[in-house]
Chain A
Amino acid sequence: MDEDGLLEEAYGLSQDQRAELLLGALVCVVVALLVAMIAFVFHEAWPSFAHNGVGWFGPGGSVDGQIQAIFTSGELNQVAVWTFHAWPLIWSTILITAAAVAIAFVGSLFVAVFMVEFAPDRLKRVLEPVVRLLASVPSVIYGLLGVLVIVPFIGDHLITEHEKASVTPVIQLSGSSVLAAVLILTVMIAPIMIAVFADGLRAVPRGWLEGSLALGINRWRTFWKVGVRTARPVLVAGTVLATARALGEAVMLSMVSGGVGFSPNPADGLIFLFEPSRPLAATIIANTEQLSSPPMKHTLYAIAAVLLFSAAMLSLIGWAAKQPMKRYGVIA
């Protein structure tokens, strides 16, 4: 009966102050746990960075060979080998993530606009659960679809014998490629973007849209120029969330991206789409059974540290992107 706080002021802390302290404590506990995790990862990662310096991020030799050398040195209790140049893995991550996010952003924006405004009611009622369904499909199922359907299709129908012969024995053009990885990753992160964009588009003040319509602007331009523009902070938030998801995707990418530490080269023309590679998260998961070897453990944690750092940078970029949007009263 007393939840309005009117009576409480006599008892010291007001209800608001108590709530703020309680929620603040909850936030502090969660942040402390996350900071502990981050500190743990960076602490375990430090030896690998210390031994390699800035060259850790650069190119140099076969990254797969280096991984095996690191593992064997620890496993056989020999002198620890630390040499590791992760550029092929980093480049693969950048390539696959950027391509998937770019394609997914455009596609998701159109689908979200369609879903919120232009779809007939029955189609709308179908689309909403479908979006959430696709967001809940496990990554192993996407991976299986990739391995059983997409990869053989690309291998049999899109790659020619001539192309394969031209690059062997350096790499093998099977269907597990940049193309397969980008396609499936796009389908995987699109539902997240669509769901978040649709929520934001629905929250655009109706008066603004009606005012634009009243001036004679057609529905498409109204929604696009007024609605989508107002929802820009939500677009940024959804993109950041989806990009973070794409960075952290390990299981599906380990199955369809090719599994070799190779840097796909755009200068190769069409073959570039079919070249295999392996992003950072997939490298961690392909080597979890090698954690028993200390230098390997530190190297894997170093890869994890790079991923955590990228996600933090992503968060900062998202915040910076939202700042200019605050000018016109759009709540960001």
Chain B
Amino acid sequence: MLRPMGAVMKGTTLRSKTRAFVIMAAVIPVLALPAAAAASTLFGSGSSAEQPILNVLFRGYNRQHHKIRFNFLPDGGNTGVKDVQAGRRLFAVNTRPPLPSDSRTTQFKLFLDGLCVAVNPSNRLSNLPIPQAKDIFTGVDTNWGQVGGSNLTTTIDPVGRNSSAGSYTFFQSAVLGGATQSSNVHPVTSDGLVATAVASDKNAIGYVGLAHSGKSSGVRTVKLNGVGCNAHNIKNESYPLFRFIWGVVPSTHASVQVEKFFDWVRTSKQAGQIISRAGAVPAFNK
């Protein structure tokens, strides 16, 4: 009894299996064919620190131009430039000025940002001359008693960024004069972690971007060379640690839509409002 039943069932299984296979083979390519794209996606990459503000700018632009979508990969400013040079991405966003090694790219200044020096709110320091900031972060000054204006007499706990961060390179060139950050500076991997470290340790001092320098981050910023770290001083470039955020496109065959987007970011009123509310400083917007 078993053998004939087995043979019948085997035959049925084989036939229905073949049918299923033929159906799948017909359906899957149809599913995989890209449908006529109603929207076009512009692929970019670059600085992860600028990702929040860029996402808001993308959304603002998309509200006016419904067919343009953006896809931004935050793999770092330097990698972003290399992506544009290799043709892997249509644009990149960077926080450092162009280098000679950035050949075959065109770079635009988009908006301004600043690096603030922050201390714990219980520290009464209000003004820090830049040479003294350099002394603190290169390990020359190790006690708050050596820093005028502070009410503390304990060991200084400097907090900084890791060496791959754009903020670190900027701080190194603008404050440390190219010297390496001392080994007693605690390097952390994001501005948020600097703010957390400074907010929880009354002996700490660190440098953060403008977006993390508000009261909600739990820190208090100090004036550098007598100039406060705020949008007004950054816009008129009187605050020493200001920097531009750059947009990068390839020199040849750049996407027209990307260049239109960068123009919108630089000059339009809506973009200016977005930039200032997001914690950066509009540079050229009306």
- Residues on A lying within 8 angstroms of B by beta carbon are 1-2, 7, 62, 64-65, 67-68, 71, 75-77, 147-148, 152, 155-156, 161, 164-165, 167-172, 174, 176, 254-255, 258-260, 262, 276, 286-293
Contacts and interface: CB of A to CB of B under 8 A. Distances in A.
Contacts of A148: 196
A77 B103 CA distance: 11
B26 interface: no
B183 A262 contact: yes
A77 to B, nearest CB: 4
Contacts of A164: 154-155, 157
Nearest to A285: B189
Given A161-B154, A293-B78, A169 B142 contact: yes
Interface in B36-50: 48
Contact of A169 (B101, B139, B187, B193): B139
A330 B213 CA distance: 63
B201 A174 contact: yes
B75 A65 contact: no
A170 B183 contact: yes
Nearest to B139: A169
Given A169-B184, A172-B158, A288-B76, 20 more contacts: A1-B9, A62-B183, A71-B164, A76-B100, A148-B196, A161-B155, A164-B154, A168-B142, A169-B142, A171-B183, A174-B157, A254-B189, A255-B189, A259-B189, A260-B187, A287-B162, A288-B75, A289-B75, A289-B76, A289-B164
B14 to A, nearest CB: 14
Contacts of A75: 78, 99, 101
Nearest to B159: A174
Contacts of B163: 64, 67-68, 71, 287
B182 interface: yes
B79 interface: yes
A168 B155 contact: yes
Contact of A172 (B162, B164, B185, B196): B185
Contacts of B156: 168
A175 to B, nearest CB: 8
Contacts of B196: 147-148
A62 B184 CA distance: 13
B29 to A, nearest CB: 25
B204 to A, nearest CB: 8
Contacts of A68: 163, 180
A169 B180 CA distance: 14
Contacts of B75: 288-289
Interface residues of B, number: 44
B254 interface: no
Interface of B: 2-3, 5-6, 9, 48, 75-79, 81-82, 99-101, 139-140, 142-143, 154-159, 162-165, 180, 182-189, 193, 196-197, 200-201
B162 A259 contact: yes
A7 B78 contact: no
A76 B197 contact: no
17 contacts: A1-B2, A67-B163, A68-B163, A75-B101, A165-B142, A165-B155, A172-B185, A172-B186, A174-B201, A287-B164, A288-B164, A289-B75, A289-B76, A290-B76, A290-B78, A290-B164, A291-B79
Contacts of A77: 100-101
Nearest to B81: A292
Contacts of B101: 75-77
Contacts of A290: 76, 78, 164
A56 to B, nearest CB: 19
A255 B193 contact: yes
Contacts of A276: 186
A148 B199 CA distance: 11
A67 B25 CA distance: 52
A260 B188 CA distance: 9
A264 to B, nearest CB: 13
The 6 A-B residue pairs with the shortest CB-CB distance in the complex, in nearest-first order: A289-B76, A169-B139, A292-B82, A292-B79, A259-B187, A172-B184
A292 B142 contact: no
Nearest to B10: A2
A75 B78 CA distance: 8
Contacts of B158: 172
Nearest to B80: A292
